[in-house]
Amino acid sequence: MSRLALLWFVYSVTGSALKTSIIGLLQTLPPIVLGPLIGVTVDRLPKKAILIGSDVARALLIGVIPCALSVEFFTVEMLYLLVFLYGIATAMFVPALSSSVPFLVDRPRFTAANALLQSTTSIGIIIGPALSGAGIAFSGSQDVLCINAVTYLASALCLIPIRFPDTSRGARTRMHWATALLGDMTEGLRYSLFTQRTILILILLASLYTFGTGAFTTLFPVFGKKMLGVGPIEIGYIWSCLGIGLLVASLWLVFLTKWRIRMRVRAVAISSMIATAALWGLLWSRDLPVAMLLMGIIGIGFGTWTPIAWGLIQEIAPAEMVGRVMAIYTAIATATSMAGMTFFGWLTEQFDEYISVGGIGLVLFVLGVATLWFSGRVIVNPHQAETVNA
């Protein structure tokens, strides 16, 4: 609910499309710029406190504060500051959540746990824009942000009864805190990018994934309008089908969690190929029901990657380093997502939307081939857990 309401609220305050677009940039900068530092914080501090604190902070930043103050009071600078702080809180929440999984469920259930986490995002994609749009139409964006604050507070309340193991650790003994912090950051970067090559391969594959999917999800309103000739209502219907596809993939992955690593990685490769076929199918689709079906298939293809990739990181990385690895993974993936949005946005303007959609399909095809190659690096030992020959 918050994304649409926030953008609408900012536009109502500034009246500028350019200033509104900067909001998206400010939300994505924190995980990129502060990723390694956030990872150290997540590994050092109690994860439950970070999760609850992030929810409460987001409720205050884009809910209570905008609700308590009149629109006339806000300046552009104040909005930018609130959104940037909101981005930091979200950047803290995601690695804290993903790095909590190894401490809450058994190893064979990592993928299932990640899939269930993704299913909540899927449901949000299905119903969030519709509820937000209706709320804006009947009450205004400011009231929708107030209501959204309640959802963050409800999330924080739901976290309170969950028992998290104490995973916090203090700074290294006999070290100045800054030296210890720098040492932990360096350790995380070295492990993710040099020591454990499997993690590096996953990060590179994730970069391909977000380069294509980030561009498609951002530019789809343009694609839908120009390729299908539909209006905002129809685009909303088609968009909901993407969420349904993500939800189907999430539920399917719950039952796939006991598969061996090699089979799970191959499932990602196959789903990427399926998404490629559906994306290329959109190039010839002119019928709304067909476009909705293809969008659902694309959602299934998109929805397989993250739970499995997160599960592999959670299985490979030491539990005390998962926060740092996930923060670095997220930082690089977010950066390539922004690069994909920029590149395919330029491609659409210079050529047309068909070239862009075809190019995004090609990126997913390359991802499928590369992931299939990666699955061949998995070594199956009948007496031990699977490993990856990187």
For residues 167 and 103, is the Cβ–Cβ distance under 8 A? yes
The pair of structure tokens assigned to 153 is 């507070």
Tell me what the mean pLDDT of segment 352-363 comes to.
95
Tell which residue, 44, 82, 78, has the closest CA to residue 63.
Answer: 82
| Confidence check: pLDDT of 281 > 90 | yes
Q: Is residue 171 part of a domain?
A: no
pLDDT at 210 over 80: yes
Name, of 160-174, 332-346, 355-369, the range with top average pLDDT. Answer: 355-369
Residue 172 lies in a domain: no
Within 8 A by CB and 6+ apart from 358, the residues are: 279, 280, 283
Least confident of 58-62, 84-88, 233-237, 364-368: 233-237
* Cα 263 from Cα 149, distance rounded (Å): 41
Contacts of 299 (CB under 8 A, 6+ apart): 122, 241, 242, 243, 244, 245, 246, 247, 248, 249
Residue 389: pLDDT above 60?
Answer: no
- Distance, CA of 299 to CA of 302 (rounded, Å): 5
CATH of the domain at 223: 1.20.1250.20
The answer to whether 235 and 224 are in contact (CB under 8 A) is yes
Asked whether 216 and 279 are in contact (CB, 8 A), the reply is yes
Give burial (CB, 10 Å; 0-12/13-18/19+) of 210: buried
**Residue 70 domain-assigned (yes or no):** yes
Q: pLDDT at residue 316 above 80?
A: yes
Residue 173 lies in a domain: no
pLDDT recorded at residue 230 = 77
Task: Give me the pLDDT at residue 170, please.
Answer: 54
Closest among 390, 115, 98 to 264, alpha carbons compared: 115
> Is 238 domain-assigned?
yes
Report yes or no on 169 lying in a domain.
Answer: no
Reported confidence tier of residue 387, pLDDT bands at 50, 70, 90: low
- Contact present, 340 and 215 (Cβ < 8 Å): yes
pLDDT exceeds 70 at position 379: no
| Dist. CA 113–CA 8, nearest whole Å | 34
Look at 254 and 27; give whichever has higher pLDDT: 254
| Residue 286 structural domain | 2-164+178-388
Q: Which one of 104-118, 172-186, 216-230, 374-388 scores highest in mean pLDDT?
A: 104-118
Question: Which residue has better confidence, 19 or 349?
Answer: 349
Q: Which two tokens stand for residue 324?
A: 């740092």
Angstrom distance (rounded) from CA 255 to CA 267: 13
Token readout for 217 is 């999800």
Number of domains in the chain: 1
> Does the pLDDT value for residue 377 go beyond 90?
no
> For residue 25, is pLDDT > 90?
no
Phi, then psi, of 157 in degrees rounded to 5: -65, -35
> What's the pLDDT score for residue 253?
92
Q: Is the pLDDT of residue 382 over 70?
A: no
Model pLDDT, residue 275: 97
In the predicted structure, residue 136 carries a pLDDT above the cut 90: no
- Give 321-388 as a 3 state SS string: HHHHHHHHHHHHHHHHHHHHHHHHHHHHHHCCHHHHHHHHHHHHHHHHHHHHHHHCCEECCCCCCCEE
Mean residue pLDDT across the chain: 84
Which is nearest to 152 in space by CA: 269, 48, 220, 58?
Answer: 58
- pLDDT tens per residue, range 38-78: 999 999 899 999 999 999 999 888 777 767 666 667 677 88
Residue 191 inside a domain? The answer is yes
Is 170 within a domain?
A: no
In whole angstroms, how large is the CA radius of gyration of the chain? 21
